[in-house]
Amino acid sequence: MMKALQQLTEKVLSGEPITKVEAMCLYQQPLDELCKSADAIRRHFCGNRFDICTIINGKSGRCSENCRFCAQSAHNHTGAAQYPLLPEEEIIAQAKRNQERGVLRYSIVTSGKRLSDGEVEQMCWVVQEIKRTVGISVCVSFGLLDKRQFRKLKEAGVTRVHNNLETSRRNFPHICTTHTFDDKVQAIHAAQAAGLSVCSGGIMGLGERAEDRIDMAIELRRLQIKSVPVNMLNPIPGTPMENNPRLTVEDMRRIVAVYRFILPDASIRLAGGRGQLPDKGRSCFTSGANAAISGDMLTTAGITTQTDMELLKGLGYEVGLCNE
């Protein structure tokens, strides 16, 4: 077992991609040794830089899509807040507050399948104001937009677009039926064609198998994604997944470690659900993960940025933008 781990570590360090069969083999390796190897790969390709971002729920609830995990879907009855686009001043003020806390990337996230052209125009103005008055790097998650809309956002000053695959191609129809896995891939291609960097990952604990997790990582590698959020399902009452079993720290360490082998130079970002972990993700940050979403999530409480900054300092990380 250990010999296979050593060989695959050397293969990745030499710059060769691992295969699906090899990734499945990694899933069976002793956890502590696997995580040590993943951490060595992280240091080799990414150094000690740690990419920390925050998000704002810029438009909430009443979403037309039927994602089975989501508090904001109109198909689920969760009591999540419902409001249209936040006032522009509020989004800008929050960007400023985050910058003052040392955060370098700020992501504006909106509910719904996609923003309308009018909403995109409104957000372009907000992004221009943030760039002019605050200077923080801006990421947006506005749904399944087209190349023309993405280009407008880039011209306004957006540097990165977020669009999760959520799970593997095989598992996707079990999670959502109002849009497809290919709709997601098409939007990613459109953002890349508009010259934007893309952040894309998924949620663990949706009932997927280890093979699904690996298939998604290999798809992300094929799409040349360099920022990969790894969310842990927070089962929300009122959603079809409210009774899904919660993943453990050990599950999450294994996932981020295997992802580091498949995506050696990416920012592997602990995202939603991290607050459920007893150590708030600390052990994942020595198992291959080197990025995080800090502060509150969209509909659930998160970990304060100050707590995260202290944790990262203790682990020897330097906060900085990665894979811009």
pLDDT at 69: 72
Tokens of 180: 């497809």
pLDDT at 1: 57
- Residues 299 and 134: beta-carbon distance below 8 Å: no
Domain covering 30-319 assigned CATH 3.20.20.70 in the classification = yes
**What's the CA gap between 292 and 295, in Å, rounded?**
10
Q: Where are the domains of the chain?
A: 30-319
pLDDT at 307: 86
Entry pTM? 0.93
pLDDT at 11: 97
Q: pLDDT 10s per residue in the chain (324 long)?
A: 578 999 999 999 999 999 999 999 999 999 999 999 999 999 999 999 999 999 998 887 677 777 777 776 767 677 677 787 899 999 999 999 999 888 889 999 987 888 999 999 999 999 999 999 998 999 999 999 999 999 999 999 999 999 999 999 999 999 989 999 999 999 999 999 999 999 999 999 999 999 999 999 999 999 999 999 999 998 888 888 788 999 999 999 999 999 999 999 999 999 988 888 999 899 999 999 999 998 754 444 567 888 888 899 999 998 877 766
**Residue type at 131?**
K
pLDDT at 299: 44
pLDDT at 211: 97
Residue 293 β-bridge partners: 53
